Amino acid sequence: MSTQDPHYARLSASPTLPRGKGSGSAFDVADLFRGPAPVDGQAQTAAGLDERLRQAYFWIVNHAVISPHYDIEYQDDRSPQVFVIGDSKARFVLPAGQSYSSFVLMPLLTFALR
């Protein structure tokens, strides 16, 4: 048996907004709802709830549940890439915008609303 190709062993990084240098602590669900909001100069550098939920979503998808299905797709001003495959001329469409896995996204949003 040959060793596994390192290209396929790599997980993609989450496309979240860049942050300044921080403590580099591990993700904790309690951080999503920690409050109250700071009133001093840290308010500009602290991530909002939307960014924390985005980070939580991509952490879950990239580390906890490797999701093969992204069934919620968004299109932006770019047109999607469309490939025609085989004799049956089946269409394979790659969206231009962000895609999400509903079985990870919906429970996370439900958790955030409670």
pLDDT tier at 5, thresholds 50, 70, 90: low
Q: Which two tokens stand for residue 50?
A: 């939307």
Residue 88: pLDDT band with limits 50, 70, 90: very high
- For the chain, the average pLDDT equals 75
Q: How far is CA 100 from CA 4, 70, 92, in A?
A: 28, 5, 17
pTM strictly above 0.85: no
Mean pLDDT calculated for residue range 68-89: 85
Q: What is the pLDDT of residue 84?
A: 94
At residue 102, does pLDDT exceed 60? yes
Q: 28-76 pLDDT, tens per residue?
A: 777 767 766 555 555 455 578 888 888 888 888 888 887 777 888 887 7
Domain ranges of the chain: 24-113
